[in-house]
Amino acid sequence: MTSILLLGSTGSIGTQTLDLVRQSGSGLKVSGLAARASWEVLLEQALEFITDDECVEVTPGTVRLRKVTLDAGERARNLKRLKNARV
């Protein structure tokens, strides 16, 4: 799976790129979005492409899509626990 960070996601090229991601199925993963304007659209995009281990932070100046657990080692341990619990 290929991860992409999309700068200018609310503009015409950004929205067309997200359309391609939607159409690609599971081949692409949005790992980050950025835009200078249109925070409402950016928030909608972030909520659409969020994964189970991420959250959307909304502050007066920003909309951020970030991992819930910031420590990479702890994220890996949590993922391993989830996989073992499903078996």
Per-domain residue ranges of the chain: 2-86
Integer Cα distance of 39 and 79 in angstroms: 31
Strands (E), the chain: 2-7, 28-34, 54-58, 63-67
Which pLDDT score is estimated for 36? 84
Residues with Cβ < 8 Å from 14, sequence gap 6 or more? 6, 7, 8, 35
Each residue's pLDDT tens digit, 35-67: 888 888 988 998 898 887 788 888 888 887 777
End-to-end, the C-alpha distance of the chain in Å comes to 23
Which pLDDT score is estimated for 11? 94
Token digits of residue 5: 């960070």
DSSP state of 9: T
> Could you tell me which of 23, 69, 30 has the C-alpha nearest to residue 47?
30
